[in-house]
Amino acid sequence: MSTSALQALEKLLTEWHADTNNIKKDFLILKNNFENKSNLQLELIARPGVSYSLRAAHTAQKKRSLFVMVDIIDDDPKNRWLSVCFYGEMITDPEEKGDLIPGGLLGEDGYCFDHEEGSDENIAYIQDRIDEAYLAAEKE
């Protein structure tokens, strides 16, 4: 991640105080998951007041520029939520928790999981999808 993107992310996390729905805690779980993976590139696209988009790509990927996009939706800083999106064929969704978004992930079909309230079970499910997409990206 570039120095400016890292600074923007650290600024966001430092200023993210009021969080009654425990989304910051769950975002940090996902961020830690990324930091523990090898051969990973992270990019942050910061649009304060709209979203902060953390995009992860495997260094072996050649077909696509990412395998997951974790958006912190920032339209209400006191009530942020996460939208975690994947390319459709890179994951499974055995519990059908995701929403199919035709053409919605950089022009391709994707699945998005909205995470609006902190939940250990839901964030674990999303982490499993991230791990699955990471392995698929390694072979892409």
How confident is the model over 28-42, as pLDDT tens digits?
A: 999 999 989 999 999
Q: How confident is the model at residue 5 (pLDDT cuts 50, 70, 90)?
A: confident
- Give the pTM: 0.92
The residue segments making up the domain with residue 11 are 3-138
Nearest-angstrom CA–CA distance, 86 and 20: 27
DSSP string, 9-36: HHHHHHH----TT-HHHHHHHHHHHHHT
Number of domains in the chain: 1
Residues 51-99 pLDDT 10s: 999 999 999 999 899 999 999 998 887 889 999 999 999 999 999 999 9
CB 43 within 8 A of CB 5: yes
Query: How distant, in Å, are the alpha carbons of 7, 31, 81, 117 from that of 26?
Result: 20, 9, 10, 9
